[in-house]
Homo-oligomer: A and B are copies of this chain.
Amino acid sequence: MSALATAIYRGRERVPAPDPADRGLAYGDGLFETMRVSGGAVPWWDAHLGRLAKGAQRLGIPTPDAAWLAVEAAALLADAPAEAVLKLVLTRGVGGRGYSPPEMPVPTLVLSLHPLPTPFEGPLSLRWCETRLALQPRLAGLKHLNRLEQVLARAEWNDPSMHEGLLLDAAGRVTCATAANVFAFVGGRWFTPALHEAGVAGIARGWVLANVHGAQEAELRPADIESAEALFLCNAVRGILPVGRLGSKAWAPHPALDELRRRLRRDVPAF
């Protein structure tokens, strides 16, 4: 499970290891991106960098220069398998003891390459998680480093035939899976939870909302999910995966979902 390659930077300076006083380690004071590498490149690079920049702005962390970052990522990808996963962690950098952010932070950047997970086309088996996501509008949508809720939720099961768990927020609204977003097909349209108070606004989710006519955000309750005509999870590593089972509910393949996956594959052949 170790990385194929890792590059760590303090600002633009390459360093051998994270500093033990890094605020990423101390407070989860940072963001990350998990990117599919295909054909030696990252098809959704611009979308990932855009989300990173938005998150960094909300947290007040300087964003690395895009051109510099592209060069460094390309260097790491040069010796990598053509199909892989690139993870990026950006933190506020080294700090003293205390929450007060440094006035002139020098961000830490960690780029790491990982093997592509075993190919899997679904269908997925899901469960409902007991862990509820707290409501925090100031952090909702961001892919930040405070992920104990996801760790607790993912620790609820260890049956490898159970692929993912769906999470409700503290208000009982369906929010996302531990590491994917969810869409439900209802009345001929795709709906996904709005993420104003909890959850991560995924890049694959953004692709669906931008590219699929009528796809939109909505408030979804567990009954909406369980009565949907079709269901899928999506993330930037695996693309769109159909859900076949959730508790006692089961879904057969659905033509709308097959069509959606073909569209994604036309746009991003990796999926």
List residues of chain A with CB under 8 Å of any chain B CB: 1-3, 6, 8, 16-29, 32, 34, 59-60, 85, 87, 89, 91-92, 94-101, 103, 110, 112, 114, 131-132, 134-136, 138-139, 144-155, 158, 170, 178-179
* Min CB–CB distance A157 → chain B (angstroms): 9
In Å, the complex CA distance between A17 and B174 comes to: 40
Contact assessment for A152 and B135 in the assembled complex, using a CB-CB cutoff below 8 Å:
no
Q: Quick one: closest B residue to A103, CB to CB?
A: B158
With contact pairs A134-B136, A155-B60 given, residues A148 and B27 touching in the complex (Cβ less than 8 Å): yes
In Å, the complex CA distance between A110 and B24 comes to: 14
Identical chains in the assembly: 2
Contact assessment for A135 and B134 in the assembled complex, using a CB-CB cutoff below 8 Å:
yes
* Min CB–CB distance A237 → chain B (angstroms): 9
Contact assessment for B112 and A59 in the assembled complex, using a CB-CB cutoff below 8 Å:
no
B-side contacts of A2, CB under 8 Å: 21, 94, 96
Chosen A-B contacts, 7 in total, with CB atoms closer than 8 Å, are A8-B20, A20-B110, A27-B145, A60-B155, A100-B154, A135-B135, A139-B152
* Min CB–CB distance A243 → chain B (angstroms): 19
Contact assessment for A112 and B20 in the assembled complex, using a CB-CB cutoff below 8 Å:
yes
Contact assessment for B98 and A27 in the assembled complex, using a CB-CB cutoff below 8 Å:
no
Contact assessment for B18 and A179 in the assembled complex, using a CB-CB cutoff below 8 Å:
no
Q: Quick one: closest B residue to A139, CB to CB?
A: B148
Q: Quick one: closest B residue to A15, CB to CB?
A: B17
Q: Quick one: closest B residue to A101, CB to CB?
A: B155
Contact assessment for A27 and B28 in the assembled complex, using a CB-CB cutoff below 8 Å:
yes
Q: Quick one: closest B residue to A21, CB to CB?
A: B3
In Å, the complex CA distance between A131 and B137 comes to: 10
Contact assessment for A112 and B27 in the assembled complex, using a CB-CB cutoff below 8 Å:
no
With contact pairs A17-B17, A17-B20, A148-B146 given, residues A34 and B97 touching in the complex (Cβ less than 8 Å): yes
Among A2, A3, A134, max chain B CB count under 10 A is at A134
* Min CB–CB distance A3 → chain B (angstroms): 6
